[in-house]
Amino acid sequence: MHGPRRFGRALRLSAKKRRMERLYDLMYAGGWPSWLAKPLGLQGRLHLTTHRFTLATDGVPIPPLRIAFASDLHGGPGTHPGTIRRACQLLAEAKPQLLLLGGDFVSFHARHVESVLEAIDQIDAPLGRFAVLGNHDLIADDAWLVQRLETIGVRTLVNENARLAAPYDRLWVCGLDNTEQGTPDGRRALTGADGVRLILMHSPDGLTALGSASFAVAFTGHVHGGQFMLPGGRSLIGVKGPLSQRYLDGGVFELGNPGQRILLVSRGIGQGSLPMRFRADPEVHVCDLTFDSVNG
């Protein structure tokens, strides 16, 4: 297999951004920023956040389902590898049936995914492991990342969906392309998914591609919880997009009737060009889903 290219299919990658990506990769060689920041407590304290969602269904019985969700691993010199390993270990210990990954597997270069793959591979998920790509993945060689993820059984969804196996065959995982550097297409992602839809997307701004379409839960990251929060609640990093700004702190939001259009926004695990977190601890998620018939 050939090695990764320097850049991928990012649609809005300026010449200045290309220079900065190369510069950070050179300046941060060896990962010294994360090795310095972590013992100083400047990469945050990792949390496992648990959720219980009761979802509305059309009357067909569906057994309870446990989902593990992680986003923004940011393999590379800005994130301490021990944090990534521990995050995946926590999810593995939760014994999920389904694993969802919200993108930004790397920062600065696709080659940094190798240690990330090893950490992810410890998470057994008998119903499947699914991913979408983040803006940093599209800046890197996204096609190469997709191939590498496939080697550990992770399927990447780009404006497409996958139906789960029985007895969960009323559930679809619908994955959107990245909002910031790609072309999200909600119609394509939802086509044929005529049951309970689990939306996987990198950025909360992916909601704009879904419009008023029905879904059960949407899983997203990108915001980092602001990553480095200054006094007064202002973030030191620039997170673009109106919905990313709205949901900057992360959390769970109900956008529709009970049991429908639930939005989970993760603070994610890692960092990119700023290798520090402050008042925005990293997190991974375990979601226990139960299903309630709207027909009684």
Q: What are the strands of the beta sheet with 262-265, ordered from one edge?
A: 160-163, 171-175, 196-200, 217-220, 262-265, 251-254
Does the residue 8 lie in any domain? no
How many folded domains does the chain comprise? 1
Domain membership of residue 266 (yes or no) is: yes
- Position 294 scores a pLDDT of 63
Let me know if residue 2 belongs to a domain.
no
Q: What is the number of helices (H) and of strands (E) in the chain?
A: 9, 14
CATH of the domain at 81: 3.60.21.10
Contact 107, 116 (CB under 8 A): no
**Within a domain: 9:** no
Whether 141 is covered by a domain: the verdict is yes
Give the global pTM.
0.96
**Beta-carbon neighbour count of residue 206 at 10 Å?**
28
| Distance, first Cα to last Cα, the chain | 53
Max intra-chain CA distance, the chain: 60
- The answer to the question of residue 179 being in a domain is yes
Domain housing 82: 15-293
Residue 296: the pLDDT is 46
The answer to whether position 28 is within a domain reads yes
Encode the chain (296 residues) as per-residue pLDDT tens digits.
Answer: 578 999 999 999 999 999 999 999 999 999 999 999 999 999 999 999 999 999 988 877 899 999 999 999 999 999 999 999 999 999 999 999 999 999 999 999 999 999 899 999 999 999 999 999 999 999 999 999 999 999 999 999 999 999 999 999 999 999 999 999 999 999 999 999 999 999 999 999 999 999 999 999 999 999 999 998 888 878 888 788 999 999 999 999 999 888 899 999 999 999 989 999 999 999 999 999 999 876 54
Residues with Cβ within 8 Å of residue 237, at least 6 apart in sequence: 224, 226, 227, 228, 274
